[in-house]
Structure 1
């Protein structure tokens, strides 16, 4: 059976400052809450450069097809934000958001109901991971929804990693070590064994660390340059999307050219085969990794979102349930917007930050052909080996993505459904 893939933009928000991180809340009572972080380098002739940022809090409310679904709940001016992630389990005070800041701090905020109504973030605690450095990334040990031992790992611009515990509303340092020769851009727990930590840096090395041993010595180092799903699979950022089996780090299971450098990778929260890639100079793509995890090789691209006009940095899957039928978007009122057909697919040209519109980014066979860019390899989504979750008649997801220099946050929908037209043709 052939499958038809379609993306639909739901809303675009101007974040004013450069947007580089976005995360949906994984706590069940707050699946509609979205956080977005920004980073802005301020320069002046008579002052040293400074890095400022802003934290946005939104809520997704799909009350009708005409109104934009995203509502801003709060904005907090802060130091520049390099990364942000929600803890997967709630605390007595509510959901907790972690922020890696340009001040070298790891900051925590709690989400709770405000006296004025609605939800707001409140500072919980913070800790400096090192002097004269930027905190670059963070991850929680709670990926399998385990709240028995809540820890965080943070990487910084000095190439160091820090592991901290969170108990009774306070952060305590457990270990800190030099992990990379240059900036350590990414760090992550193995959710299937939270005594293992992975990191990647500007020294072009992917490294593993066992917290039960002396962390100053890696368990492995790979120069072929994160762990979030079964099969012990890793997906470190780089110029290729490389899948690894954590039990055998001698060589990757398979690689897929990204066509622009990969900044962020996010596994789908429930489908272990879907991987979302923010490819910097080459937009956002969804890879289907089932075949690569089984037999190795490349992972086909089953969807692409190409409406950002700047560096593709932040991206995340929502856990929101999506209604079965996608409503029609309203006709664009802004005269500067137009649909231009080229190469059997549609490309959106727009300037309005709030209008909703459809995007059909595939050819008649369901293959994606981004306009004017070097896209990753694509294959027709046909056959029993390539499908949504087993037994599902279709799949619909809400996603968010953000881009840097154009300071834009996009919320969009991806529908993956059986192509009944192609099926009827096959039967005839």
Structure 2
């Protein structure tokens, strides 16, 4: 196993919890980093959470090209299909909203839309995922919320609207994600330890409910390069690998070096490589062999706080950006070949 070292870093001021590289070839050098700060201010008896989203060009010294102020950021994802001819970043915020920002002609992000999922300002939008990773014609977004709700947002004329909404979990729904190979299917995980599948053609109807993880389910991602492969992660520090054709039991598990897991990201082109932001333990890269058995190949241990965000570059196959919370820092590093 290789231990990676930081190539460059940036102090984000506010706590950093999300890193997302732009997937488009002409903007693949751009990295968005989201932050979260709980303030002492109060509105309607709810403490105000502030956020900033930084835009970096990672081919240059790490000075932000742009800083966008929003409510606190919980999650971000780029759409893999153009929205009204724009490359769009979706941001999930701390007051139950989703913001869409698109590149303009000056390579700056400008606000396009905002969708409010709830009127209750105490409800956080905890995650979002786009259906368009493989199916470019499906531009829907799934979001999960701190009250356990799951929303499907869909484009309607010039804006996004709530297409469907249902109560998925009784505790915080930390994560929701599309099956990229069959976008009728959505997965969700929550603090109740439950991992659920949903068919969006009949909203609110589960296709399965499992409690395999020993603690809250925090992350999952469909493998964009390998059909039927899904990875899930949890506070229990274990990654489960699933064959979506037979969900009765995982095909493999991997016990990470600890810390709990917050984000899992499959490599953009290598179907056997998985990145984990493992909170208290750092960030890790796993490689699967022909039998889908995972092995730890790279660890990054420079974070001195909880590593919440991590993502792969779409331009440089080994480049990773990861960020951590209380030390409010983003690092760039390379996974081993």
TM-score after normalising by structure 2: 0.91
1:66-77 to structure 2, matched below 5 A, reads: 68=61, 70-77=62-69
SS at match of 2:138: coil
Shift of 1:130: 1.5
Is 2:171 aligned against 1:250?
A: no
Report the Cα distance in structure 2 between the residues aligned to 1:167 and 1:272, rounded to whole angstroms: 34
Report the Cα distance in structure 1 between the residues aligned to 2:41 and 2:71, rounded to whole angstroms: 17
| Distance 1:14-1:207 versus aligned 2 partners, 3 A rule | same
SS at match of 2:26: helix
Correspondence for 2:52 among 51, 54, 73: 54
Q: Which residue of 2 aligns with 1:33?
A: 30
Q: Which residue of 2 aligns with 1:106?
A: 98
Is this contact kept in 2: 1:159–1:178, CA < 8 A? yes
Correspondence for 1:232 among 228, 235, 249: 228
Report the Cα distance in structure 1 between the residues aligned to 2:319 and 2:155, rounded to whole angstroms: 31
Report the Cα distance in structure 2 between the residues aligned to 1:216 and 1:90, rounded to whole angstroms: 28
Q: Which residue of 1 aligns with 2:264?
A: 265
| Distance 1:167-1:31 versus aligned 2 partners, 3 A rule | farther
Correspondence for 2:110 among 105, 122, 147: 122
Shift of 1:29: 1.4
Shift of 1:168: 4.0
Shift of 1:220: 0.2
Q: Which residue of 1 aligns with 2:82?
A: 90
1:9-408 to structure 2, matched below 5 A, reads: 9-43=6-40, 48-61=46-59, 68=61, 70-114=62-106, 119-132=107-120, 133-144=123-134, 146-213=135-202, 215-225=203-213, 226-229=221-224, 230-238=226-234, 239=236, 240-258=238-256, 259-293=258-292, 299-321=294-316, 397-408=318-329
Shift of 1:254: 1.1
Higher CA-based Rg: 1
Report the Cα distance in structure 2 between the residues aligned to 1:236 and 1:266, rounded to whole angstroms: 10
| Distance 1:212-1:60 versus aligned 2 partners, 3 A rule | same
Deviations 1:83-122 (A, max 9, x none): 00000122344210001001111111111233xxxx2111
Shift of 1:45: 9.6
Structure 1, gaps ≥5 residues long:
63-67, 322-395, 417-428
Deviations 1:172-212 (A, max 9, x none): 22210010111100000000000000000011000000112
Report the Cα distance in structure 2 between the residues aligned to 1:267 and 1:138, rounded to whole angstroms: 16
Q: Which residue of 1 aligns with 2:216?
A: none
Report the Cα distance in structure 2 between the residues aligned to 1:35 and 1:283, rounded to whole angstroms: 20
SS at match of 2:269: coil
Which contiguous aligned blocks of 4+ residues in structure 1 show a shift greater than 4 angstroms?
Answer: 44-48
Deviations 1:218-275 (A, max 9, x none): 1001101211332411111212011011111110111111211110000001000000
Cα RMSD (Å):
1.8
Report the Cα distance in structure 2 between the residues aligned to 1:48 and 1:158, rounded to whole angstroms: 15
Report the Cα distance in structure 2 between the residues aligned to 1:204 and 1:174, rounded to whole angstroms: 27
Q: Which has the higher contact order (CA 8 A, sep 6+)?
A: 1
Is this contact kept in 1: 2:152–2:164, CA < 8 A? yes
| Distance 1:167-1:397 versus aligned 2 partners, 3 A rule | farther
Is this contact kept in 2: 1:61–1:71, CA < 8 A? no
Deviations 1:33-82 (A, max 9, x none): 100100111126997521111111111225xxxxx3x3411001210000
SS at match of 1:72: coil
**Deviates most, 86-95 or 156-165:** 86-95
Higher strand share: 2
Is this contact kept in 1: 2:285–2:335, CA < 8 A? no
Report the Cα distance in structure 1 between the residues aligned to 2:322 and 2:85, rounded to whole angstroms: 28
The count of residues paired between Structure 1 and Structure 2 equals 323
